[in-house]
């Protein structure tokens, strides 16, 4: 149950913010005072989605970096991956002694993995506190700003007529799909840059400590 509390907090936060926002876009209207500089009067919807997506990714990545130890998380993932590989190899070779020893170690490995996952879950509510309001502003931007500008249809390579950002695919509005296509690759790039910086910084610290000794 304790590990589920952050997820429940996120769900409650989403419900509360969407209820407050409502059909009148109350949260979006308030945020428009700050984020309205990126709407360009509704003339360039894709550029707006790219800029706001960049802001969201930078803020959420920065918060996760401050709240989580990326090096410890990477170490935990590496150890768990190596453990699973050894377990698979032992079963393939039918090495019963090794399987027994690894099985005895499994609760400790699972506990370490759960601890790492728990830290990620604890960071989720704070990250969502940034992400959800930005989503609500984009909803306001699409429903109000672009409608008033008469620019809710964007051109895409696979459709001559373009696609309306208010149309629905399965159960998702088109603007969420477009926003996701933009933000996910950008988020991966920024996350990789942050991790490379942290690893290099840690290596320099280790090298400096070795030289000092």
Helices (H), the chain: 5-21, 26-35, 45-67, 70-92, 96-140, 146-149, 174-212
Please state, for a pLDDT cut of 70, what percent of the chain lies above it: 82
pLDDT value of position 117: 67
pLDDT value of position 1: 47
Q: Structure tokens of 36?
A: 């309205």
Q: Which residue has the higher pLDDT, 180 or 42?
A: 42
Q: pLDDT tens for residues 66-105?
A: 776 666 777 777 888 888 888 888 888 888 888 888 888 8
Please state, for a pLDDT cut of 90, what percent of the chain lies above it: 0
pLDDT value of position 50: 82
pLDDT value of position 187: 73
The model scores a pTM over 0.75:
no
Can you tell me the distance from the alpha carbon of 213 to that of 208, in angstroms, rounded to the nearest whole number? 9
Q: How many CB atoms lie within 10 A of CB 176?
A: 17
Over residues 44-52, mean pLDDT: 85
Q: Structure tokens of 102?
A: 């690894």
Q: pLDDT tens for residues 149-207?
A: 888 887 766 666 777 777 777 777 778 877 777 777 777 787 788 778 878 887 887 77
Can you tell me the distance from the alpha carbon of 190 to that of 196, in angstroms, rounded to the nearest whole number? 10
* DSSP class of 151: -
Can you tell me the distance from the alpha carbon of 33 to that of 30, in angstroms, rounded to the nearest whole number? 6
Can you tell me the distance from the alpha carbon of 27 to that of 140, in angstroms, rounded to the nearest whole number? 9
Can you tell me the distance from the alpha carbon of 151 to that of 165, in angstroms, rounded to the nearest whole number? 9
**Mean pLDDT of all residues in the chain?**
78
Q: CB–CB of 203/211 below 8 Å?
A: no
């Amino acid at each position: 149950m304790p590990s589920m509390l952050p997820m429940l907090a996120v769900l409650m936060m989403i419900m509360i913010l969407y209820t407050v926002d409502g059909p009148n876009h109350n949260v979006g209207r308030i945020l428009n005072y700050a984020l309205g500089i990126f709407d360009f009067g509704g003339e360039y919807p894709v550029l707006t989605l790219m800029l706001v997506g960049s802001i969201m990714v930078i803020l959420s990545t920065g918060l996760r970096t401050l709240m989580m130890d990326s090096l410890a998380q990477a170490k935990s993932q590496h150890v768990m991956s190596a453990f699973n590989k050894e377990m698979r190899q032992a079963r393939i070779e039918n090495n019963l002694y090794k399987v027994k020893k690894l099985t005895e170690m499994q609760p400790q490995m699972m506990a370490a993995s759960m601890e790492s996952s728990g830290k990620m879950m604890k960071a989720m509510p704070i990250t969502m506190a940034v992400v959800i309001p930005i989503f609500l502003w984009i909803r306001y931007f699409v429903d109000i700003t672009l409608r008033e500008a008469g620019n809710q249809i964007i051109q895409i390579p696979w459709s001559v007529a373009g696609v309306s950002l208010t149309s629905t695919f399965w159960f998702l509005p088109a603007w969420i799909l477009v926003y996701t296509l933009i933000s996910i690759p950008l988020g991966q790039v920024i996350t990789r840059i942050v991790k490379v910086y942290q690893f290099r910084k840690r290596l320099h610290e280790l090298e400096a400590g070795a030289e000092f000794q």
